[in-house]
Amino acid sequence: MERNVKLSATLASARRLCLALALLLVPTWLAAAPALVVELRVDGAIGPASADYLVRGLARAVDEGAQLVVISIDTPGGLDTSMRDIIKAILASPIPVASYVAPSGARAASAGTYILYASHVAAMAPGTNLGAATPVQIGGMPGSPSPKPDEPEATQGGEKADPAQKKDKAQKAAAPTDTLSKKQINDASAYIRGLAQLRGRNAEWAEQAVREAVSLSAAEALQLKVIDYLANDLPHLLKQLHGKSFTAAGVEVTLDTEGALLVSHGPDWRTQLLAVITNPSVALLLMMIGVYGLFFEFSNPGTGVGGVLGGICLILALYSLQLLPVNYAGVALILLGIAFIAAEAFMPSFGVLGIGGVVAFCFGALILIDTDVPGFGIPLALIVTLGLTSGLVIFVILSMALRARHRALVGGDTELVGSLVRVNSVAPDNPRGGWVQLQGEQWQVVSQTPLQRGQPVRVLARKGLLLDVTAAEDAPPEGD
């Protein structure tokens, strides 16, 4: 018995020792495992959906305790407001952010170049390019001179101008001449130069990318110190970043990316929905559906389908438009055009209001989006299709109005006169008076001859609430 007690005590001591060792080793194991790396992906034009996705993705990475966020980029550019929201989130991030232009064949043009310069790490895959960072809104504005490649070179004393003079001349020719363009160019140039100085990258080329819209390949960007690394793929980039130190939000962070867990967070349903409704073409369609839905609901109240669908679509359209660079003159023309089309339905003007509405709508749709950023324009084919659809609606309305105008009246006294009915009852004190059932109502009738119950009579005229009738065999035929 005593022996069993000693054995139990020994086993209990061993269990306590194993538990203590496990508690001591677990923090060591956790410390030995490198923190995870989060990958976010941007494909296509940068807009409100991209900005929302990246800002929330950076915040989520902080909550997950990630040591690094890698933004894989393939974009032709995007909206200035969305780009600046992304850059603000990168600059405020407490963990380093690496922008990686990949895969081969990808690009980081325009807004993508700014994001690359703002990141703690700038990397590219072979076969990619970046640059062309001139604000595209001013690309076609009045005052910007068009280049003249066929113009002969200036000569002085029969000699050609030297390369320095030609370069200076080209820069002057490319410089915008109107005040607004100069302001936008200078603002964008100062912005990217500040980012370059913050990250210690080539500020001179950055300004050149804004003012002259130049581009670089990946190898050239590495050589000119525009980027920090050239990596074949993401694991290759993480291998190069192992042990590197970066300052994020004022705190120095040393990366331990060798063997780190890589987690990719793709766009969720919210980002996908936002990307759909912030497409200018979809926003225009939602506006049309919303306005027409409410129009049909007001013209035929009771069903509720048009009102519910129209209200939802109109609210979504207004939400998406307030996120986009909208020209409010375009919105006003679209609404004016729809109002004219609706007015054509209620008070037909034989096409004057309707045609004017279609013209106003088309012009409004053409100038609705106040930017030339790729992916944010409204296709001309869509505008023409919607205009033709509205024209078809007007044609149907006019056809119905013309048919109704030539149709015989079927209500009121016109329908009563000439009706053939039978006498339901005869007045007891007046054999020439009685009652008939006509159009679902009881009418009092009077005749020049005595009436009999069940006798067929024809209505000759209406005198207030009294109908003047005559025996059917004595009545003249209809139309005489």
Tens digit of pLDDT at every position of the chain (480 positions): 555 545 555 656 666 665 655 555 444 444 445 789 999 999 988 999 999 999 999 999 999 999 999 999 999 988 889 999 999 999 999 999 999 999 999 999 999 999 999 999 999 999 999 988 887 653 333 334 444 444 444 444 444 445 445 445 445 444 555 677 788 889 999 999 999 999 999 999 999 999 998 999 999 999 999 999 999 999 999 999 999 999 998 899 999 988 889 999 988 888 888 888 888 889 889 988 888 888 777 777 767 787 888 889 989 988 888 888 888 888 888 888 888 877 776 776 666 787 888 888 888 888 888 766 666 778 888 888 888 887 787 777 677 766 766 665 555 566 677 778 888 888 888 888 888 887 778 888 888 888 888 888 888 888 877 888 888 775 454 444
SS3 356: helix
pLDDT digits over 200-219, tens only? 999 999 999 999 989 999 99
Contact 284, 386 (CB under 8 A): yes
**Which fold, 12-132+214-269?**
2-enoyl-CoA Hydratase; Chain A, domain 1 (3.90.226)
Contact 68, 241 (CB under 8 A): yes
**Domain covering 413-474: architecture:** Beta Barrel (2.40)
pLDDT confidence of residue 237: 94
Domain ranges of the chain: 12-132+214-269, 278-406, 413-474
CA torsion, ordered 249, 252, 257, 261, to nearest 10 deg: -40
- pTM of the predicted model as reported, rounded to 2 decimal places: 0.68
**Any residues with CB less than 8 A from the CB of 398 and at least 6 apart, and which?**
344, 348, 350, 351, 354
**Any residues with CB less than 8 A from the CB of 274 and at least 6 apart, and which?**
48, 49, 52
CA–CA dist 90, 55 (Å, integer):
8
Helix (H) or strand (E) holding 315: helix 305-323
How far the first Cα of the chain sits from its last, in Å, is: 132
Backbone angles phi, psi at 131, to 5 degrees: 125, -155
pLDDT confidence of residue 444: 84
Determine how many CB atoms are found less than 10 A away from the CB of residue 318.
Answer: 14
CA–CA dist 274, 50 (Å, integer):
9
Contact 124, 221 (CB under 8 A): yes
Contact 434, 470 (CB under 8 A): no
